[in-house]
Amino acid sequence: MNTSVALIGFMGTGKTAVGKALSEKLGKEFFELDPLIEQKAGKTIPEIFNQDGEIGFRELEIAATKEVTKKKNAVIACGGGVVLNKINIDRLKKEAVIVYLIASPGAILKRTLNDDEERPLLKVADPALAIRELLRFRKPFYERAADITVNTSKLDVDSVVNQIITKLREYEGFR
């Protein structure tokens, strides 16, 4: 029986906001991988990318995923690239139902430009193009990992949470 929910998806699809609201509604503890990584590294994600590169960041992500998947009854907001390492998905699947949050490239661009978070992968001349290219590359990884998919493009947080809860009730093997 899976007692946890792991939220995956590209940056700007709502993993953090939805994760916090979902954990409250389900009465489960909330974990967000990126702050755990920053805490372990003693530096911000942009600093990790600048100093250690993406490979260094992904190694920290594997360690944080290993730690958080030992928890039961949790909602886990994963970083957008967690699916790039199969070991992360294998660990998540042992305890969690994986919910893939999707959004249109336009919605992602609007959300990421309007938040305060620094996003190293979008520090390029054409963020819209970067989003489309990264989405095209990552989409098969997300789809392969997902047990449930919810499109967040035109929904508010409460509507997304309600859709997830409805789908979890139908999902065999979740409690």
pLDDT tens digits, one per residue of 29-50: 999 999 999 999 999 998 999 9
Average pLDDT of the segment spanning 142-146: 97
Average pLDDT of the segment spanning 45-67: 94
pLDDT above 90 (res 65) = yes
Q: Which one has a higher pLDDT value, 127 or 66?
A: 66
Instruction: State the pLDDT at residue 170.
Output: 87
Average pLDDT of the segment spanning 129-138: 93
CATH topology of domain 4-170: Rossmann fold (3.40.50)
* Confidence band of 173 (pLDDT split at 50, 70, 90): low
Instruction: State the pLDDT at residue 115.
Output: 74
Instruction: State the pLDDT at residue 107.
Output: 93
pLDDT above 80 (res 118) = no
Average pLDDT of the segment spanning 94-112: 93
- The DSSP string of the chain is -B-EEEEE-STTSSHHHHHHHHHHHHT-EEEEHHHHHHHHHTS-HHHHHHHHHHHHHHHHHHHHHHHHTT-SSEEEE--TTGGGSHHHHHHHHHHEEEEEEE--HHHHHHHHHHSS---GGG-SS-HHHHHHHHHHHHHHHHHHH-SEEEE-TT--HHHHHHHHHHHHHHSTTB-
Q: Which one has a higher pLDDT value, 115 or 82?
A: 82
Domain boundaries, the chain: 4-170
Candidate ranges 45-49, 59-63, 112-116; pick with highest mean pLDDT: 59-63
pLDDT tens digits, one per residue of 7-37: 999 999 999 999 999 999 999 999 999 999 9
